[in-house]
Structure 1
Amino acid sequence: MFRTALRNVLAHKARLLMTVLAVLLGVAFVSGTLVFTSTVSDAFQRSSQKGFDDVDVAVTPVWSDSPSADPGRPARLSQGLLDRTAAVPGAARVTGDVSGFAAVAGKDGKLLGDGFSSQGHNYFPGKDGQDHRYPMRDGQAPTNPGEIALDAKTADRAGFHVGDTVRLSVDGPVRKEKLTGIFTTDDGNAAAGGSLTLFDTATAQKLYSAPGEFDQIQVKAAAGTSQAQLKDRIDAILPKDRAETTTGRKLADDQAKSIAESMSSMRTSLLVFAGIALFVGIFIIANTFTMLVAQRTKELALLRAVGASRRQVTRSVLIEAFLVGTVAAVAGLAAGVGIGAGMRSLMGSTGQSLPDGPLVVSPGTILTSLVVGIVVTMLAAWLPGRRAAKIPPVAAMNSVHATASPKSLVLRNTLGAIVSAAGAALVLLATGMGDGGKVPMGGGAALLLIGIFILTPLLSRPLIAAAAPVLRIFGISGKLARQNAVRNPRRTAATASALMIGLTLITGLTVIASSAQKAVDKMATDSLKADYVVSMVNKGPLSPDVATELADNPKVTASSPMRNAPARVDGDIEYLTGVNGKDLGKLTQLDFAAGSLDGLSSDKVVVDGDTAKQHGWHVGSTLTTTYEDGKRGRLTVGGVYEGNELIKGILLDTATLAPHQKDASDMQVMVKTAGGPSEATQDALAKALGNNPAIAVQDKKDVSEGIAQMVTLMLNVLYGLLAMAVIVAVLGVVNTLAMSVFERAQEIGMLRAIGLDRRGIKRMVRLESLVISLFGGVLGIGLGVFFGWAGGRLIADSLATYEMVLPWGRIAIFLALAAVVGVLAALWPARRAARLNMLGAIKAE
């Protein structure tokens, strides 16, 4: 039986090619994902471990959660504590670290990096005058205010040299600094395309903490002193509940674990789509083996007649599947290694460089790829093999088995109806369950997809029949195409289902994303009267000087900062948001359930409805408050408003909040201008702020796009990933048509003999492909719209302005895509059918 299976594989190489390609693509996606994520994870872990080579113990401040503690930021580490740490026996070298945000502008004035990985640190020279964390490649370290050093990758990327003047910002105002040095570093942010700027310690403390204070103290152990011993000695001198120690080994392990976890989520997401591609590939594999078995029915019947058992027949089909799966898996693994290397290079070409490191192809990746390819192929081939083995030899010789029995069709349709109904019911039930409905909805969606797949043969006849009036335009070719499409409903169903799954996911995600974008736009329009919102590009702290500069601008008619400050309110930690109470009504449109903005003054606050409900507050409630400086006060609720993603929380006047803040900073500043928003006004405001690359001046559209940016980015990534499933679906259509042409060779020969020309044959095959593809497209779009509506119901609970939007333009594009798939997939099979020798085809058995 093994020799028989091997001969069958070698005899049907062309027929199995599409199956090999389908499995190869799926396996390549799996192995490429594993290689890429393993490579990136290994590179970052190696880089982070290098960063901790000189750190044996790290001392960090602790945020006390004691009810009696002040709600402000944790106390930083003092110079005195650093000196005491340096005196601990076994401490060879002690480094005080201060860090924060530092956005660097290139020579073209644009921000270098993405802003979120732009960091600033202090240069802390030791007894030898060097900071071993940052060895200088060119020039010297900064020692005075107005001097900086840049990491080598940033300097080289921007074309900076020692002596150049560099524009940068840490919290808003532009600073012009002299570049005195360029250094090399293993810092992960710099290696990943960010920037790292060094200041002298006094300047860094002034910018990021306070004179004489550090964010962290790093200690290098002397020879003969272990990390654990050094940690115990430092613990003995630390103030209780104000600072804690961690060994360098644990820091490295925690960093490695954090990197592994972040890569794990990426790996999981990519593997989900690889699984979708493989799932779609199952239809192709099952289709292929079903047709191969059908074409060899008499051969299998002869095997049964000469003594082969059912088990042996099934085994021969599975051996074929094993051989095909092995070839496809090995080829897919090789392609996946190339994909992994390509993805890494692609990230580098987009400016998102990675730390140096080898390409990682682990034994687990190899084993996973081989197992996935072989198991998926054998599972898909098992049912056709089992079905072939159950056919009695005499019936097979007479082709009595060709048509499915009414009993099997009734059973299939009944099962499909039950599964579909259960899935739809579960999805509908989940829409009313809020956040807890995600898992039930996922399960219901899977059941509904499976149920529709089971029912697809039943649905194919009426839906394809609906296309009859259009097909009649093409004469006999159109009529034959429609009849061919419904001749074998199971095959048509399996082919259309592959495309249906891809379009279901794409359509559903598009409906949700379009609706969410519309909701965000509506929220920005409804709640913001301000013409512009000014903030840091990384959404970090913004200097109060920016709000002052904008308020004094002659083009500005009203402005208000939004300034967050931690406080203990009625015993719980809450964030107070300071605003300009006088101008807030000109800048926002808040819906009040009780009270109004008139209640926002002096010691009165307004609170969003969710916060008020959580604490049981109402208009007139008195809030006992401990500010971040430890001073106490009493605030009165003057209004309860409906919060949203733009404005929520406890709002009070900045005049009330400012006296309790040592280092005030704003989240953003809302601005109303004379004459309304315009490109000229926006440019004028940016110019007034020094054309600062670290500051974003955004109008309402920019604000809504910024909020929806992650949704849009995710959607574009998903489109790219789901394209794999569509490509596999195209292979399925090609495979089905090619096998169908082979099966109908005699029929095509007869059609040619009675007068249908080659052009008519090509048109017949193309129309059949088009009908099948559009059938899958209609089903996919219909299911996608349903799932988009259901998923939107879950989002609507947390996004008050959410309402379903049908993106008709994109839906039309998706349907056109299905048509294009049908046309392209038919090119080779149609050409092959037209080139058949009619006499040879008629004689074919």
Structure 2
Amino acid sequence: MLRTALRNVLAHKARLLMTTLAVLLGVAFVSGTLVFTSTLSEAFQRSSEEGLDHVDLAVRPDQDTDAAESGPGGAADLPQDLLDAAAGLPGVAAATGEATGFAALADKDGDLVGAGWDTSGGNYDAGRDGTGTDQRYPMRDGRAPERAGEIALDSATAERTGYAVGDTARLSVDGPVREETITGVFDTEDGTVAAGGSLVLFDTATAQELFTAPGEYNRITLTAEAGTSQRDLADAVAPLLPGDAEAVTGAELAEEQAADIEERTGGMRTALLAFAGISLFVGVFIIANTFTMLVAQRTRELALLRAVGASRRQVTRSVLIEAFAVGAVAGTAGLAVGIGIAAGLRSLMGTFDVAVPEGSLVVPGSAVLASLLVGVVVTVLAAYLPARRAAKIPPVAAMNSVHAAPAGRRLLVRNAIGTLFAAAGGALVVAGIGADDDGATMGLGAALLVVGVFVLTPLLSRPLIAAAAPLLRVFGVPGKLARLNAVRNPRRTAATASALMIGLTLITGITVIVDSLARGVDRLAAESLRADYVVSMANFSQLAPEVEDTLARHPEVTAATGLSVSPALVADETSVQYVNGVNGAAMGELVDLDFESGSFAELGGENAVIDADTAERLGLGLGDAFPVEFEDGEHGSLTVAGLFEGNQMIQGILLDAATLDPHMERPTDFQVMLRTADGPSEETRDALAAALGDNPAVLVQDKDDVSEDIAYMFTLLLNVMYALLAMAVVVAVLGVINTLAMSVFERRQEIGMLRAIGLERAGTKRMVRLESLVIALFGGVLGVGLGVFFGWAVGEMLRAYLPTYELILPWGRIGIFLGLAALVGVLAALWPARHAARLNMLAAIKAE
């Protein structure tokens, strides 16, 4: 039986080709994902470890300290005294203080360097006397920065930008432009630089002024002397640590960075594997269809095996062995293709200015194992039911040319099960709209509904395909024959159409959700903002107060406010609540909010305005006073002077910036809103940008720019989804080709007879193409219908978080999706139609 099974694989290798390709593509997606993400993770991990070569112990603020103990401001930075004490401990070879943060560098053309990756700044630690060297950053050219106005650049950024020692570079830390002289170019193993970022070094005093505070660091690193272990060093430092600081060994720091890298690449891995799973799920339909048709075509052969003594179990095993062989071949080939895909993706990242640290391609054992397991298990499981049906063929069927068990009762049971699943799934999807379970109910309902529709597809095929009869009549006899062929075997038609249905359901649903979200966010910005411009950093970091001051003094500006955020403990709560500082006198002109009571006019001094949901959660009403502990630990009392309807842009507790700023460690704004005398225009935008020094790190955007940014973000997300789901559609196309090709083989006698009684070759081709077109459109209609329903349901659930959400049905793109489904049908039929038309009619009629 083993030899028989393997010979059958070789005998039907052409018919199994599409199945092999479908499994191969799914496995390639899986293995490529695992190899690509493992390569990225390994490269970043190696780069991080190289950056920690000189770190045996790191002392840092303990951000996990309980808020009730440390206050809402969190852990403080580390003082110079701690660095000096740590440097004098026995066993310490070197101690380095680090003051780091964001620093946006412009190239010689004024464009931002390192966009999309960290553009960071730090200090060159030359010791207390300023005469030492920093072992982290060996100088390649020039010297280290020694005073304000001097910087050093990493060598990779210098090569990328063309900067050299003696050049003047423009950069920004928090808004205002700084022009600095480059005094040196250094080498570094810093992981962010290896990944395409940039690093700018200042002297320690300047870095502390920019990123921490004079005499303070945000990390201290120690290098141990020979013979001193990292744990010994940690024990020696422990008595020196303040209560809100912690010591982490170099080994522990490496583990943390490895976990962080794994988390970042793990999200990508999970997303890509989900799409690989979709492709494999679609491939299941093709595999099941293929083996069902092969079993039907080999009725005599299998029945004869039974007649000469083969048991049912042996016949079942025979078919499963064939599936195993196909899966093993597809899995092995898929692994090889996946490795090629991973190598290609890594090279492709460079063309998009996304640098990856150097390193070899990593093929983990999990990728090899997963490829073989996925290829074999998916194929064998999909072939199991056809194998069981093959075993049930009675030996007497060997006397007949065809054996077909009566299907009426089975279809009746199938339709009843499908109706039950679909009804339960639809009910759960609707119930999930208001459920507070993070979409679990809706997800379960969606799965049940898709399964229910799939089970019901044979029942749905007849009426839906019959609806196309008037259009098919235009094509005469080939059109009528195509319709009859499409409904002749409802199960086969259903399995073929369902593969395409899955892909179009996801594509349509995602399109509806993303377009609707984009419109909702756009409406939110348009309805909530009266400001003509919103100014922010390009990476949405903090702006210095000087930015608001500069813009407020501009002759074009009639109203301006910065929006600052500060942690606080309010109304006796133990968890941190963020409060916002604004210019109360200008807010009414810059935003449009619905007040239940009070207004921005009352905002000032100890008065605050609160969104209604926050007030209800805190148990506050108009006129109520509540205690507050600010970021600096100072206590005070605020009074509710207004209640407004919050939204995703403006919500929480708002108080006057003059009240909040004195309590902030470093007063900053995350954005500045402006209103101008003559409204938005290119001239006004240019004038505002010029007032800020034409800073490439600062965005000056009007409402249209904000909307375009939103639209671009959603469009980019949608295009990524389309690219990933394209694999499922390609697999579905293979399914249509496979079904048609095997159907043509099954019907060769019939086709030969039709040719003999006058059906021309062109008519034969048209018949097969129209059959394919009808099946593809049937799957397309089901997919679009389900996708729209799911898009509506998810949108209704999102409306609770985004009141301006508006359901958008992109009819143009839905039409394109159906047009693509039709194109899939036409293209998939090219080879089977040509094969059908070239059949020798006499040989076909004679064939058994």
Return closer, same or farther for 1:154/1:670 CA change in 2, 3 Å cut-off: same
Moved more, 752-761 or 17-26: 752-761
Are 1:421 and 2:423 counterparts? yes
| Range with greater deviation from structure 2 (616-625 or 768-777) | 616-625
Please say if residues 103 and 115 of structure 1, whose CA atoms lie closer than 8 Å, have aligned partners that are also in contact.
no
Take 2:459 and 2:568, find their aligned partners in 1: how far apart are those partners? 64
Residue-by-residue CA offset, 1:736-770 (whole Å, 9 max, x unaligned): 11111111112212222222221111111111111
* 3-state secondary structure, aligned to 1:14: coil
CA distance in 1, matches of 2:99, 2:429: 52
Matching of residue 642 in structure 1 with residue 645 in structure 2:
yes
The residue aligned with 1:504 is 505
Matched, 1:329 2:334: no
2:318 corresponds, among 302, 316, 328, to 316
For the pair 1:37 / 2:40, whether they are aligned, the reply is: no
The residue number in structure 2 matching 1:408 is 410
In the aligned structure 1, how far is the partner of 2:687 from the partner of 2:816?
A: 41
2:756 is matched by which residue type in structure 1?
A
Please state how far the C-alpha of 1:115 moved relative to its aligned partner. 5.3
Residues 804, 84 of structure 1: alpha-carbon distance in 2 compared, 3 angstrom cutoff = same
| Aligned counterpart, 1:513 | 514
Q: Given the superposition, is the C-alpha separation of residues 495 and 396 from structure 1 closer, same or farther in structure 2, using an over 3 Å criterion?
A: farther
How many correspondences in the alignment? 843
Identify the residue that residue 616 of structure 1 maps to in structure 2: 619
Q: Secondary structure of 1:664's match? A: coil
**Counterpart position of 1:479:** 480
Which residue does 2:663 correspond to in 1? 660
Residue 83 of structure 1 corresponds to 84
Partner of 1:143: 146
Instruction: Summarize the alignment of residues 572-611 of structure 1 with structure 2, pairs less than 5 Å apart.
Output: 572=573, 573-611=576-614
**Distance in structure 2 (CA, Å) of the matches to 1:73 and 1:407:** 70
Partner of 1:114: 115
Conserved in 2, the CA contact under 8 Å of 1:71 and 1:566? yes
Per-residue CA deviations over 1:345-366 (Å, capped at 9, x if unaligned) read: 1112211111111111112211
Partner of 1:276: 278
Question: Aligned pair in 2 of structure 1 residues 469, 807: CA closer, same or farther (>3 Å)?
Answer: same
Root-mean-square deviation (CA, aligned residues, Å) is 1.6
The one of 811, 814, 829 aligned to 2:814 = 811
Q: 1:649-689 deviations in whole A, cap 9, x for unaligned?
A: 21112222233345211110001112222233223322221
Q: Which amino acid aligns with 1:833?
A: A
Specify whether residues 397 and 589 from structure 1 end up closer, same or farther in structure 2 by C-alpha distance, changes over 3 A only: farther
- Residue 747 of structure 1 is matched in structure 2 by 750
Work out the percentage of aligned pairs sharing the same amino acid: 65
Q: Distance in 2 between matches of 1:791 and 1:309?
A: 51
Aligned to 2:365: 363
Distance across 2 between alignment mates of 1:595 and 1:738? 73
One-letter amino acid matched to 2:27: V
Moved more, 386-395 or 622-631: 622-631
CA distance in structure 2 between the partners assigned to 1:66 and 1:478 by the alignment: 74
Deviations 1:62-103 (A, max 9, x none): 355354654335321111111111011111100000001001
Which amino acid is 2:254 matched to? A
Moved more, 157-166 or 53-62: 157-166
In structure 1, the residue matched to 2:340 is: 338
Q: CA deviation at 1:132?
A: 1.6
Residues 524, 700 of structure 1: 8 Å contact kept: yes
Listed as ranges, the matches of 1:56-135 within 5 Å are 56-62=56-62, 64-65=65-66, 67=68, 69-72=70-73, 74-114=75-115, 117-125=118-126, 129-135=132-138
Whole-Å separation in 2 of the counterparts to 1:425 and 1:208: 55
Matches within 5 A, 1:227-626: 227-239=230-242, 241-395=243-397, 397-399=399-401, 401-402=403-404, 404-434=406-436, 436-572=437-573, 573-626=576-629
CA distance in 1, matches of 2:515, 2:315: 52
Q: Which residue identity is paired with 1:474?
A: F
**Which amino acid is 1:427 matched to?**
V
Residues 673-752 of structure 1: pairs in structure 2 closer than 5 A: 673-706=676-709, 711-752=714-755
Shift of 1:399: 5.0
Q: Secondary structure at the match of 1:199?
A: strand
Q: 1:408 to 1:150 in 2, by over 3 A?
A: same
1:535 partner amino acid:
S
- TM-score normalized by the length of structure 1: 0.97
More off after superposition, 193-202 vs 769-778: 193-202
Per-residue CA distance 1:619-650 (angstroms, 9 max, x = gap): 10112223333333322111111111211121
Give the secondary-structure state (helix, strand or coil) at the position aligned to 2:199.
Answer: strand
TM-score by length of 2: 0.97
Structure 1 position 761 matched with structure 2 position 772: no
The alignment status of 1:209 with 2:212, answered yes or no, reads yes
| Matched residue SS, 2:641 | strand
Say if 2:642 is the partner of 1:632. Answer: no
SS at match of 2:667: coil
**How far apart, in 2, do the equivalents of 1:222 and 1:298 lie?**
82
**3-state DSSP of counterpart to 1:13:** coil
> Cα distance, 1:707 vs. partner?
5.1
Given residue 807 of structure 1, which amino acid in structure 2 is its aligned partner? P
Secondary structure of the equivalent of 1:774? helix
Q: CA deviation at 1:118?
A: 1.0
Question: Matches of 1:4 and 1:70 in 2, distance apart?
Answer: 77
The one-letter code matched in structure 2 to 1:76 is D
Task: List runs of 5+ in structure 2 lacking aligned partners.
Answer: none
Measure the CA separation in 1 of the matches of 2:802 and 2:605.
32
Tell me if the contact between 1:151 and 1:185 (Cα under 8 Å) persists in the aligned partners: yes
Tell me how far apart the structure 2 counterparts of residues 795 and 705 of structure 1 sit (CA, whole Å): 22
Given that 1:115 and 1:537 are in contact with CA atoms closer than 8 Å, whether structure 2 keeps it comes out as: no
* Paired position in structure 1 for 2:18: 18
**What is the Cα deviation at residue 582 of structure 1?**
1.1
Q: Secondary structure of the equivalent of 1:687?
A: helix
**Range with bigger deviation, 598-607 or 717-726:** 598-607
Return the offset for 1:131: 1.4
- The 1:58–1:519 alpha-carbon spacing in structure 2 relative to 1, beyond 3 Å, is same
Look up the equivalent residue of 2:6 and give its one-letter code.
L
**Quick check: 829-838 or 290-299, which moved more?**
829-838
Residue equivalent to 2:184: 181
Tell me: CA distance 1:66–1:10, structure 2 relative to 1, closer, same or farther (3 Å).
closer
Residue 401 of structure 1 aligns to a residue in which SS?
A: coil
Q: Work out whether residues 520 and 708 of structure 1, in 8 Å CA contact, stay in contact via their aligned partners in 2.
A: no
Contact 2:435/2:441 (<8 A) preserved: no
| 2:450 partner letter | L
Q: How many angstroms does 1:532 deviate by?
A: 1.0
Distance 1:397 1:290 in 2: 21
| Alignment partners' CA distance in 2, 1:264 and 1:543 | 35
Mean CA deviation greater in 400-409 or 790-799: 400-409
Letter paired with 1:570? A
Whole-Å Cα distance in 2 between the matches of residues 650 and 297 of structure 1?
75
- Relative to structure 1, the CA distance from residue 176 to residue 238 in structure 2 (aligned partners, 3 Å threshold; closer, same or farther) is same
Amino acid at match of 2:102: F
- The amino acid across from 1:58 in the alignment is A
Residue identity in the other structure for 2:811 = W
CA distance in 2, matches of 1:172, 1:430: 45
Q: Which moved further from structure 2: 19-28 or 661-670?
A: 661-670
Q: Is the 8 A contact 1:297 1:397 kept in 2?
A: no
Q: Distance in 1 between matches of 2:615 and 2:712?
A: 30
